[in-house]
Each structure stands twice: as C-alpha cells, then as structure tokens.
Chains A and B, each alone.
Chain A
Amino acid sequence: MTITVAGVKKEVKDDLTVAQLIIDENVETPMYVTVSINDEFIASGTFETTVLKDGDNVEFLYFMGGGC
C-alpha cells in the first residue's frame, strides 16, 4: 500500500503499525514524538495498535525547545 510520510509518498507493507513506522523512519526521540494521521492526533499509548491504511497521510511533530 502507499502512504505519505512527512510529505513523501512511500510504498509500505500492509498492516504496518505506527510503532513500526516510527522504527522504520528512524524517528528521533520516539518516546516524545507527536503523530497525526489524516488530520487527527494519535494518542501516544496507541502507536502499537494503530494500523495504517492505504492512502494515509502521516506527520511526525517534534519537540523543539531551543530559543537560546
């Protein structure tokens, strides 16, 4: 199936979970990333059980604390 991750279309295997995608994408600080799929936030406790569907649009939103 095809999904869009951070604006880039990708071919991925069916039944991919958000947790696995986080690993595959080498997400920095995976414990503290915010994930949205198709304009909905995904609760951080449900990454293991959230299965992606064909056509999903996934965004990773990262903490950025600096300003100093």
Chain B
Amino acid sequence: MAFSNEQLERYSRHIILKEIGAKGQKKLLNAKVLIIGAGGLGAPVAMYLAAAGVGTIGIADADEVDLSNLQRQIIHATKDVGKPKVLSAKETMNEMNPDVTVNTYHTFVTSENIRKLIRDYDFIIDGTDNFPAKFLINDACVMEKKPFSHAGIIRFKGQLMTYVPGQGPCYRCVFKNPPPKDAVPTCKQAGVVGAMGGVIGSLQAMEAIKFIVGQGELLTGNLLTYDALKMDFRKIKLPHNTDNCPVCGKNPTITELIDYEQAECDGAL
C-alpha cells in the first residue's frame, strides 16, 4: 500500500520519526484497536488514535451523551447530548481523519459478548468506569491472549498499567477481586478533574501506538500512578511472579468469565 500525497502530509510528523517512519505509519494504518468506554478516558484515546491514523478503531459503550459528561469527555459536544456516545465518537473521529474505519458497538460488555468482540482487535483499551467491567476486560484479554491498557482516574489521581500476554502481571494478579459495590468511590460520587482523562487517556493512546509500531518499553510489570495535586508520577514495579494468579497463572481456577454486580456509576459500562 503506497501513501497518497495527502497521507504523506497528514502523517509527516510521524514519518520523520526514526521510531515510526513510513513503516510504522503503515503498521498504524493496518492496526485495529478496540476502545471499551467512550468516556473520560476513551475520548482522548479515540481522538489521538484516530488522528494518528490507526486504521480500524472499535468503540463500545451503551450510554448516551449527558450534559454532565462534557466537562471531560471531549470527543462529544453540546449538540451531541442525548445521542449514543459511540455515534458521537464516530462522527468526531470521522471528521478528524477519513482514513479511519470506526466500528461502533452500542452495548455493555458482558461475559456473553466480550470474547468475540476483542478477538478481531490487536490491542484493547480499558476506558471503563467500574470494577466489574475492568475485571471482565482483564480476564477476557488473558483468555484471548490480547494485550490491553488498564487505566483508572478519580479526583486528582490516576493509574495505568499495560498487560501483554506472557509478559508479567495482569490486573487480577494485582487486585485479585472487585471490591464490594460502593466500597471504593466512583467518579460520580467523588468527582474527577476533566484533564485527568486527558493525561491518563493520552498515556493509554501512547502505549497502544508503541505496541503497534513495536518501539520502546511498554508499561508491563509496572503500575504508573499520577497524583496531580503533588504533580508526582511514580512507576511502581509490580511483583513479577504470576504463577499463582487465578486467571493468568500456571493453574488457572478462573476459566469462565464472570459478570460481577455492577456498581452504580455515572454511565456505567
């Protein structure tokens, strides 16, 4: 596949990078990334990946745009209130870059649909806002041998980790089981600064791009934490022994996906 003149110009700042170049840009154009959640995290991920020319982007979310989303979900605009988030997101991405094919899934992810959904993609973004979905994505990615980026944001804090099959701990290695409903506050209860989605979501987009072009070191085996009030980033090394993990360990006891009880949240996915 040769680049058109328009593509050479559009992606010139990528192509000039020795780590990306024409070869890396072709990889991006041929890549397929699925973003689960078109909210605070999913919005910047979707926009940066679309702008970067990731050729196929799937986006899954069951919700409609609400006025209270617009403080942080920058892929949606005031005119989109009431519209399915996946549709609003697709329109924005199409306007940004006609090279990108956007597949929309106007649905919650469940144990019934997630494995089939992720199977077609090279890299998965967890942009969800609740623990049942985060554990479901982790377990499904382990079972389907798919790399994914986990992230969470609340108040002025965020966290991020990358899972690549066979390379270190999965989300369940670290966090074992979802906390009981309402034991740990959600964004709706506790609040979140809109720019936090931009910081952490952009880092998720960066992990996807590095994975696709095969450059640099991914955030595998580490949990990155960000405290905006202290302006402190920490890369915490995670234990590397995953043998006893119930899903990615040597003798997994979780071999079927689990639908945990959904916590109440602003637009739970």
Give the B-binding residues of A (Cβ under 8 A): 6-7, 29, 31-32, 34, 36, 39-41, 44, 59, 61-68
Residues of B within 8 A of A67 (CB): 37, 39-42, 126-129, 151-153, 187, 197
Stretch from B22-30, B48-56, B97-105, B234-242 that touches the partner: B234-242
Does B184 touch A at the CB level, under 8 Å?
yes
A61 to B174, CA, bound (A): 8
Most buried by A among B40, B69, B223, B268: B223
A7 to B233, CA, bound (A): 11
Q: Size band of the B side of the interface?
A: 35 or more
- Give the shortest distance, in Å, between A45 (CB) and chain B (any CB): 11
A44 to B176, CA, bound (A): 10
Does B130 touch A at the CB level, under 8 Å?
yes
A63 to B190, CA, bound (A): 14
Most buried by A among B41, B176, B184, B197: B184
- Give the shortest distance, in Å, between B190 (CB) and chain A (any CB): 8
Does B157 touch A at the CB level, under 8 Å?
yes
A59 to B238, CA, bound (A): 9
- Give the shortest distance, in Å, between B67 (CB) and chain A (any CB): 14
Are A40 and B241 in contact, with the CB atoms below 8 A?
A: yes
